[in-house]
Amino acid sequence: MSQDQKPWGGRFSEATDAFVESFTASIGFDRRLYHHDIRGSIAHANMLANVGVISDPERTRIVSGLEQIHKEIEDGQLAWRVDLEDVHMNVELRLIELVGEVGKKLHTGRSRNDQVATDIRLYLRDEIDQLMALQTELLGHLLDLAAEHTSTVMPGFTHLQPAQPIVFGHHMLAWFEMLIRDRERLTDCRGRVNVLPLGSAALAGTTFPIDRAMVADELGFAALSENSLDAVSDRDFAIEFCAAAALTLTHLSRWCEELILWASQQFCFVDIPDRFCTGSSIMPQKKNPDVPELIRGKTGRVTGNLVALLTLMKSQPLTYNKDNQEDKEPLFDCVDTLRDCLTALNGLIPALEVNVESMRAAASSGYTTATDLADYLVVKQVPFRDAHEVVGRAVAYAIEQNKGLEELTLSELQGFCEKIDESVFDVLTLEGSVAARDHHGGTAPDQVVQAIQRARQRL
């Protein structure tokens, strides 16, 4: 393409170097913004007509041309041109082809700088809405699973060592809390995304009598950007989104790590249905938990995207710099990866088979009621530190005898502290142990039932 065909060709005396043309182009990835780009352009054209910068018939021709381009793109008919650099100029040049001279008026009073910032915000707002719907679905699956298992006992862990008995529903509610905070973070982020930059033009605003409120209204933005320099320049809203996505993936990676452990032969707490697993090309017996493993792995790329965007923005002088064109791929990748991971879990979690017996056996075998015995002694007026010491010795003895604490005889137990009586066996049971944690936030089955009810309200 000769320079006078490029929308900015006027002051140039030679054609762009072929490599530079493809190096500077973003059409390869920003074409995905076409829908939002056209929406923004239609709102801009409507506003220009409303304030009298273009006539009504001109507006009509521009808008119908833009609608036709939208259709061409959806039908795969538009041939994207690298020489036209990006989605904005591809759409604009196609408009001029379609509607003639009047198409050249669309760009009045705006710049690609406020245009691209508007497109990304519109795009991200839609994606956030869809991602939040997926999060809500997943939160619902977690509550359903929790509700089925309000009295299924399993070991709770610290240091991955059996620590104290808990119920499985309580464990699921822990994931619920993390994931609902992740959803809150997207809500917060959405508020700061939902601000209209259009009208800032290249950086300083425009000389035309624009009506920014009208554009904001048509596009559903809750506010107008307050400063034109900031509006075309900063991408903090995208960084915030990627930070929220990275934190979500970090949570999902922890959850998936547990699913992987729990599905192992060693734990056998859950079974992941075959349709979510793959086999080995050499070991015929293998069934691998690929889906949670991949989600765990994908956390790396999302965190990488966040770091890429932070580094991209670092030290950039005001206002727009071409660096900002590099904002899109990390952002798109965060959106896509988060969507895929949530979608995968929305399939897997309702299909998870829970092995109640294995969980119970694991809770019984790890001396997980030792704290209950110490608390029992405290009620019998033994200071906690002494009680801790006494129970530690009892556990060491039980390990030597290859028995559980509840399998020791009363006289064996009394050998460690004479204040122990028959009632000790109530606190050494798994049910007694969980039921005793009977307060807001505790693992007692009654508390878990109430926590699920409260959680449903928050959905």
User: Side-chain half-sphere of 354: how many Cα atoms within 13 Å?
Assistant: 21
Which stretch in 154-162, 293-301, 305-313, 322-330 sits in contact with ligand ARG by CB under 6 A? 322-330
- Segment 112 to 141, residues that bind ligand ARG, using CB under 6 A: 112-113, 116
Q: Which of 37, 83, 86, 92 binds ligand ARG (CB under 6 A)?
A: 86
Q: Which of 175, 176, 262, 320 binds ligand ARG (CB under 6 A)?
A: 320
Q: Whole-number minimum distance, CB 234 to ligand ARG, in Å? A: 13
- Quote the tokens at residue 197: 């930059």
Q: Does 90 bind ligand ARG (CB under 6 A)?
A: no
- Quote the tokens at residue 366: 């790890």
The dihedral over CA atoms of 357, 358, 362, 363, expressed in degrees to the nearest 10, equals -30
Nearer to ligand ARG, 92 or 182 (CB): 92
Give yes or no: 315 in active site: no
Count the residues of the shown chain that bind ligand ARG, applying the rule CB under 6 A. 10
- Quote the tokens at residue 106: 């669309």
Dihedral sign, Cα of residue 146, residue 148, residue 151, residue 156: negative
Comparing C-alpha atoms, which of 112, 138, 165, 59 is closest to residue 325? 112
Structural contact between residues 244 and 185, judged by C-beta atoms closer than 8 angstroms: yes
Structural contact between residues 377 and 389, judged by C-beta atoms closer than 8 angstroms: no
Nearer to ligand ARG, 168 or 320 (CB): 320
Q: Does 324 bind ligand ARG (CB under 6 A)?
A: yes
- Quote the tokens at residue 144: 């359903």
Task: Give how far Cα 263 sits from Cα of 52, 166, 290, Å.
Answer: 67, 19, 11
- Segment 98 to 117, residues that bind ligand ARG, using CB under 6 A: 112-113, 116
Catalytic annotation, pick one of 159, 315, 411, 439: 159
Nearer to ligand ARG, 194 or 324 (CB): 324
Give yes or no: 159 in active site: yes
Q: Does 16 bind ligand ARG (CB under 6 A)?
A: no
| Number of residues assigned to the chain | 459
Nearer to ligand ARG, 29 or 267 (CB): 29
Q: Which H or E run includes 201?
A: none
Residues that bind ligand ARG (CB under 6 A): 26, 30, 86, 112-113, 116, 320, 322, 324-325
Could you give the residue numbers annotated as active site? 159, 280
